[in-house]
Amino acid sequence: MSEDVLKQKILQAQAEGDIAALYVLEHEAHECFDERTLHAYYANILDLALERLTDVLSAPRTMDFDEVQDVATIRALYEYAIEHYSAAKLHDASALFEVLSGISSSEAFSEAMQQHVNAANSSMSLDDFLETVADVDATQQSGTFYISRFKKVL
């Protein structure tokens, strides 16, 4: 796909608030764009996700894992929380994981987020979490976008 066509598709998805479409275009974006443009691309996904989060919280309703836009929104917010965790912003990461735990209709996702909350609240680094608590291999086999399997319960 040419860069111009990709940009048109991205602009259309942004205008429609279609986070899922932006994730579909993610691979092509990595192939076409430089680091600065990619950063703006992900910032836009996050902005759309935060808008949807605000809408969900004011509704109030939970996000449904059977709804494509809800899953894309949760993914974007999870990636944002992981960024904070990776940067050792444990309080912020914990708060984001807590919000994620409460906005999802999926009990499995909410329970997984509680593991993340507990790890961040115990001042465990992301590396230690991945090494000692998370079961990364089982998570990869499960096909989830989030750490969903654990070696131990915190």
The rounded distance, in Å, linking the Cα atoms of 138 and 13 is 33
Which residues, 6 or more positions from 32, have their beta carbon under 8 angstroms from its beta carbon? 1, 3, 6
The rounded distance, in Å, linking the Cα atoms of 20 and 70 is 9
* pLDDT score for 113: 98
Q: What is the pLDDT along the chain (154 residues), one digit of tens a residue?
A: 888 899 999 999 999 999 999 999 999 999 999 999 999 999 999 999 999 999 999 998 999 999 999 999 999 999 999 999 999 999 999 999 999 999 999 999 999 999 999 999 999 999 999 999 999 999 999 999 999 999 999 8
The rounded distance, in Å, linking the Cα atoms of 141 and 72 is 20
For the chain, which residues make up each domain, given as ranges? 1-61, 88-154
The b/e string for 49-61 (b: 16+ C-beta within 10 A; e otherwise) is: beebbeebeeeee
Residue 27 has a CB neighbour count (10 Å cut-off) of: 10
Distances in Å between the alpha carbon of 84 and those of 58, 89, 152?
25, 5, 23
The torsion angle over the Cα atoms of residues 100, 105, 107 and 110, rounded to 10 degrees, is 0
* pLDDT score for 79: 97
Q: Which DSSP state fits 33? A: -
3-state SS, 70-96, equals: HHHHHHHHHHHHHHHHHCCCHHHHHHH
Residue 103 has a CB neighbour count (10 Å cut-off) of: 22
The values of phi and psi at residue 104, to 5°, are -100, 145
